[in-house]
Amino acid sequence: MSRKGALLRGAAAAAVAGAIVGLMAAPAAAKPHHPHRDADPIVIAHRGASGYLPEHTLEAYALAVELGADVIEPDLVLTKDGELLARHEPVLDETTDIAQHPEFADRKTTKLIDGVPVTGFFADDFTLAELKTLRAEERLPSVRPQSAAHDGEFELVTYDEVLDFVDDLDRRVVTYPEMKHPSYYDDKGMSIEDALADLLEERRLDKKRSPVWIQSFEYESLLTISERVDNRVGLNIDGQGPISDADLDEYAETLDTVSLNKNRIIPRDANGYLAEPTDVVERAHERGLDVHVWTFRNENQFLPADFREGTAGAAWGDFAAEYELFYSLGVDAVFSDYPDKAIAARDC
């Protein structure tokens, strides 16, 4: 049997075993798990179609919709004047042409993010009008030269503009904003939770059935915004290792989703090969939690060693096999830089 076949068979066995364990030992207060789209996993365009175009641009979101994504994911940071800007982090250096703007040279500074000193240009030191003079650039130009070819073409956009774009579509597309580094803003007397809640309330998108889901890596931030809005909320959990039943019980009481690093579901060994799948998907489902998984990318350097083809890190490997493996475990959604490939693997 091939290694791919063995992995898929192991995943199937893990799923069956997890289901049996769930029937025997499910928590008494467990709520039923109801996937959003029957048995089909949802495809979330990670930062837009970010494998093809510079991330968090209106053009990347539009391409993701054109390719069939169910959900688009804008990461959100705050500007100096309190606007919600679609950027992956407060620092602008890696994804904009800020270095080509000598008029802003004196804004470079060092700040603490999650306790770590970071030097660069920070969005919260610029007004939205100033940020509109910048243009987006590809984060990984040597890996994705086809995207880097569009450097300097696209302006930065606000979440309000993303919502305007979605409103004009002829089909329902969910936006899944992630509040980036809420504690960073708290320390500055700013509230990204209030900024997002204010916008959702203004646009009447603050309801449970709203096509807006909210995510964060900070649990307390999700509890805070849940006091203002009724949208579905999900906690992002990075790293590798087990998640306790006690933690899942707490999340089930307060959240709708756990959004996991792939290694939480299938760990990798020291050489990058996949180990046996864990039972976290089944245990989360027992408690009524959806499970979203990130991030799926086509390039060898991001794939498990099992699915790499050749030695070039930027070359595409057998990404379809990775999707197939995770879909077989019953995950509810995948974050992908290449949403068309996630859809093709799901629908084949």
Q: Encode pLDDT of 13-46 as tens digits.
A: 444 444 433 433 444 344 444 444 356 999 999 9
- CA proximity to 19, closest of 5, 38, 33: 33
What percent of the chain is modeled with pLDDT above 90? 89
Is the peptide bond between 109 and the residue preceding it cis, with omega within 30 degrees of 0? no
Q: How far apart are CA 311 and CA 110, in angstroms?
A: 37
Q: Which residues contact residue 157 at a Cβ distance below 8 angstroms, ignoring those fewer than 6 apart?
A: 56, 57, 58, 85, 86
pLDDT (0 to 100) of residue 10: 54
Give me the half-sphere count of Cα atoms (radius 13 Å) on the Cβ side of residue 247.
9
What average pLDDT does this structure show over 237-255? Answer: 97
Task: Write phi, then psi, for 232 (nearest 5 degrees).
Answer: -65, 140
Question: What is the tens place of the pLDDT at every residue in 310-336?
Answer: 999 999 999 999 999 999 999 999 999
Q: How far apart are CA 59 and CA 77, in angstroms?
A: 19
Q: Distances from the Cα of 3 to the Cαs of 6, 274, 307, in angstroms?
A: 5, 10, 9
Structure-block tokens of residue 59: 């053009």
Q: Which residues contact residue 10 at a Cβ distance below 8 angstroms, ignoring those fewer than 6 apart?
A: 276, 277
pLDDT (0 to 100) of residue 348: 87
Mean pLDDT of all residues belonging to the chain:
92
Q: How far apart are CA 107 and CA 136, in angstroms?
A: 18
| Burial class of residue 165, CB neighbours in 10 A (0-12, 13-18, 19+) | middle
Q: How far apart are CA 21 and CA 9, in angstroms?
A: 18
Characterize the bridge pairing of strands 109-113 and 116-120: antiparallel
Instruction: Give the DSSP per-residue string, 226-284.
Output: HTT---EEEEEE-SSS---HHHHHHHHHH-SEEEEEHHHHS-B-TTS-B----SHHHHH
Q: Which residue has the tokens 């046996």?
A: 276
Q: Which residue has the tokens 């020291």?
A: 270
pLDDT (0 to 100) of residue 25: 40
Go through the domains of the chain in sequence order and give each one's CATH number: 3-88+155-347 (3.20.20.190)
SS3 10: helix
What percent of the chain is modeled with pLDDT above 70? 89
Question: What is the tens place of the pLDDT at every residue in 189-207?
Answer: 999 999 999 999 999 999 9
CB 92 within 8 A of CB 166: no
What average pLDDT does this structure show over 73-96? Answer: 98
> 163 falls in which pLDDT band (50, 70, 90)?
very high
Question: What is the tens place of the pLDDT at every residue in 289-311?
Answer: 999 999 999 999 999 999 999 99
pLDDT (0 to 100) of residue 297: 98
pLDDT (0 to 100) of residue 7: 54
